[in-house]
Amino acid sequence: NTMWLDDLSLRVQELKQENPNAAEIISEMEENQTIFLSHISHELRNVLTLMNSSLQFLETSHPEIMMYKYWREVKKDCSYMLSFVNQMNDYNNSIRLDCQKVDLYKLLRDTYQACLPLTENTEKILTFRCQSDIPAIYADKTKLYEAFLNLIKNALEAIDEKGIVNVTLTTDEKTVRISVEDDGCGIETEKLVHIFEPFVTYKPGGTGLGLPVVRRIIDAHGGHITVYSAVGKGTTMTITLPKTLPVEN
């Protein structure tokens, strides 16, 4: 249960607003914690990468090892741990932005094209529509790509065998909006309120860090993400980004 984490986070934010001295100390502690966790995840990733490479070498050099009844599970567990550590590292670093002028249309189109192979040999359809007058924005190109890729892949995975995922890019006077809509299984209301909480997952083999990473990236850009979902009908996730970053970023 992660509800206590939400309460603690709220209390910390209130304290930071009420007491400038406390805000400075808390911010420094948060930064130190991020650095510490990043160091741990980096070291673990190095070890797990070596382990994964060793398992592949063993399989190539000694094919008979694949006959061991638990071999597949060993490889699967190692791959899962490596994926988990990589996503933990992404989560820790998701609020650190390296901003530049970004052609949002090109970035989202490239993400869309990167996901097209996921529809090969399936009855899944992936579409991309874009308003004609999308402005360039000041943002972290790599992190936005990661966020868009995550949402599109999630949407495609929400479709069992046949369905459509629509990616759209629109703009108004102050914001740009990226929507990823699928006609998949949908998300129950009781689960919907928890999908952005770290380590909460309803997907077999999931790490529970994908969507929290997305939210942290969008929050760091001064934007927000909203979700609409209906069971049996599908889910729409919409990212809204300001055309200019807040001053503090």
Assess contact for 158 and 123: CB atoms under 8 A.
no
The band of 125, judged by pLDDT with boundaries at 50, 70 and 90, is very high
- Residue 130 is predicted with a pLDDT of 92
The band of 1, judged by pLDDT with boundaries at 50, 70 and 90, is very low
Residue of higher predicted confidence among 193 and 221: 221
Q: Average of pLDDT values for 239-247?
A: 75
Q: Average of pLDDT values for 163-183?
A: 93
Q: Average of pLDDT values for 25-40?
A: 66
Given a cut of 60, whether residue 86 has pLDDT beyond it is yes
The band of 203, judged by pLDDT with boundaries at 50, 70 and 90, is low
Query: What sign does the dihedral 52-73-87-108 (CA atoms) show?
Result: positive
* Across 50-59, 63-72, 204-213, 232-241, least confident range: 204-213
- Residue 126 is predicted with a pLDDT of 95
Given a cut of 70, whether residue 249 has pLDDT beyond it is no
Amino acid at 142: T
* Across 33-47, 59-73, 223-237, least confident range: 33-47
Assess contact for 199 and 208: CB atoms under 8 A.
yes
Q: Average of pLDDT values for 52-79?
A: 86
The band of 225, judged by pLDDT with boundaries at 50, 70 and 90, is very high
pTM reported for the whole predicted model: 0.68
Q: How far apart are CA 120 and CA 122, in angstroms?
A: 5
Residue of higher predicted confidence among 192 and 207: 192
Mean pLDDT estimate for the chain: 82
Question: In percent, how much of the chain has pLDDT > 70?
Answer: 82
pLDDT tens, residue by residue, 129-165: 998 788 889 998 988 998 999 899 999 988 988 899 9
SS (H, E, C) the chain: CCHHHHHHHHHHHHHHHHCHHHHHHHHHHHHHHHHHHHHHHHHHHHHHHHHHHHHHHHHHHCHHHHHCCCHHHHHHHHHHHHHHHHHHHHHHHCCCCCCEEECHHHHHHHHHHHHHHHHCCCEEEEEEEECCCCCCEEECHHHHHHHHHHHHHHHHHCCCCEEEEEEEEEECCCEEEEEEEECCCCCCHHHHCCCCCCCCCCCCCCCCCHHHHHHHHHHHCCCEEEEEEECCCEEEEEEEEECCCCCCC
Report how far Cα 132 is from the mean position of its chain's Cα atoms: 27
Q: How far apart are CA 204 and CA 192, in angstroms?
A: 17
Given a cut of 90, whether residue 108 has pLDDT beyond it is yes
Q: For the chain, how far is it from start to end, CA to CA, in angstroms?
A: 32
pLDDT tens, residue by residue, 36-61: 666 676 677 777 888 888 888 888 88
The token duo for 152 is: 């599109």
The band of 3, judged by pLDDT with boundaries at 50, 70 and 90, is very low
